[in-house]
Structure 1
Amino acid sequence: MADASVLRLPAPSGARAVVVGGSAWHVVAADVDPAWVAAQVAHDPLAAPLGARFLTALADRVGAEPGSLDAVLVAPPPAAGPGPDLVPASVAHPRVDRARAHRSDVRVWTTADGAGVLVLGRGVAGRWEVSLEVDPVARGRGLGTALVAAAPALVPGGGPLWAQVAPANTASLRAFLAAGYRPVGAEVLFGP
């Protein structure tokens, strides 16, 4: 599909719109006229779909603000061997609050010492998504990598696990890459 194509699909469950891109392809999943999309990106189909001008125009069309531009990564198979000691938890934490605002079926684990929080939930189109938080005093020691390496084994039914990471969040991006997650594209979600 690396042909500078821009495909328009209906909006998925869980989002007003999503723009996803990869190597020379994009998908605009929104309930808008395909001809309108084509006209908006015709001048530069390689860059325009994830550019500010198109995202702003799409926001006006769907009546929802775009989120951040995130790298989309997919998890490797579950790791063999022991991972960090994780305890199912019900904690008040901004990372958990954010997950509950954007995902369903949210599940939370913490490390025994509470220094790490791991969150799984169903995001856009029902996919399992992971996020994490490491307490500032515990950063720089590999805990984030250990948490996201343990996450694929926690997915019910063993299905695929996705992560969205803001490219500017270099610590998080390094943790996911070190745990074997593969970048597969970029996306911008527009709220429900």
Structure 2
Amino acid sequence: MPAPLLLDERRAPALVVGGTAWHVVAADVDPDWVAAQVAHDPIAAPLGARFLTALAERVGAEPGVLDAVLVAPPAPVRPGVPLVPAEVGDHPRVQRALRHRTDVRTWSTPDGSALLVLGRGVAGRWEAGVEVDPAARGRGLGTALAAAAPALLPEPAPLWAQVAPANVASLRAFLAAGWRPVGAEVLFGS
């Protein structure tokens, strides 16, 4: 039997996650209600707009972006880009991480042109986010940050990232760094 998916309802009252021919709806809703809502297409419907809207009404929270979920390759011996611990509490990427994650840690390039954020998200998993200043884009910093992230975890563990498929630059950076797509998810905001 799989372990239960634990959500911190203060941070995320619902989550829908799925992959090839499977999905999980993690929310305080009746499973029969879910089955009735997705009966017309039980494989694709849980990540479709119609179901996400119905679930949003049911749990009283807006669905976030439908993100691709990626998992990192094993950690390199050391990061390939110089990084320094960063105190960037007012940065939008950090503020978002603080809303959805615990144990948030941040690093930046010495010139501050790129930011890497790690924290514990859904079910306590380690999650990474990167941001590159617009003036520094096109130089491979996003890929370098995505490649460096696994080496910065405080203990050996899988590392996950959620990337909006429309954010093509970010998706390409993570894929170029060896991250593998494993599914998709929508996290609902509280």
Residue 153 of structure 1: how far off its partner (Å): 0.7
Distance in 2 (CA, whole Å) between partners of 1:118 and 1:12 is: 24
What is the one-letter code of the residue matched to 1:130? A
79, 99, 103: which is aligned to 1:101?
99
29, 52, 55: which is aligned to 2:52?
55
Residue 10 of structure 1: how far off its partner (Å): 6.6
CA contact (8 A) 1:11 1:30 kept: no
Residue 46 of structure 1: how far off its partner (Å): 2.0
Residue 102 of structure 1: how far off its partner (Å): 1.4
Residue 156 of structure 1: how far off its partner (Å): 1.4
What runs of 5+ residues in structure 1 fail to find an aligned partner? 1-8
Q: What is the TM-score normalised by the length of structure 1?
A: 0.92
Q: How many residues are aligned here?
A: 184
Percent of residue pairs identical: 77
Give SS of 1:177's match: helix
After TM superposition, list the pairs within 5 Å mapping 1:130-141 onto structure 2: 130-141=128-139
Distance in 1 (CA, whole Å) between partners of 2:6 and 2:50 is: 20
Given the superposition, is the C-alpha separation of residues 122 and 115 from structure 1 closer, same or farther in structure 2, using an over 3 Å criterion? same
CA RMSD of aligned residues (A): 1.4
CA contact (8 A) 1:130 1:163 kept: yes
20, 24, 49: which is aligned to 1:23?
20
Residue 138 of structure 1: how far off its partner (Å): 1.0
Question: Quick one: higher RCO (CA 8 Å, sep 6+), 1 or 2?
Answer: 2
Deviates more, 1:182-191 or 1:74-83: 74-83
Give SS of 2:155's match: helix
Give SS of 2:33's match: helix
Given the superposition, is the C-alpha separation of residues 84 and 183 from structure 1 closer, same or farther in structure 2, using an over 3 Å criterion? same
CA contact (8 A) 2:75 2:150 kept: yes
Given the superposition, is the C-alpha separation of residues 32 and 82 from structure 1 closer, same or farther in structure 2, using an over 3 Å criterion? closer
What runs of 5+ residues in structure 2 fail to find an aligned partner? none
Distance in 2 (CA, whole Å) between partners of 1:109 and 1:164 is: 18
Partner of residue 7, structure 2: 12
CA contact (8 A) 1:10 1:30 kept: no
Q: What is the TM-score normalised by the length of structure 2?
A: 0.93
Partner of residue 6, structure 1: none
Residue 59 of structure 1: how far off its partner (Å): 0.7
Residue-by-residue CA offset, 1:43-62 (whole Å, 9 max, x unaligned): 11121101111001101111
Distance in 1 (CA, whole Å) between partners of 2:103 and 2:78 is: 27
Partner of residue 125, structure 1: 123
What is the one-letter code of the residue matched to 1:45? P
Distance in 1 (CA, whole Å) between partners of 2:121 and 2:114 is: 21
Structure 1 outlier segments of 4+, above 3 Å: none
Partner of residue 144, structure 1: 142
Partner of residue 115, structure 1: 113
46, 51, 61: which is aligned to 2:43?
46
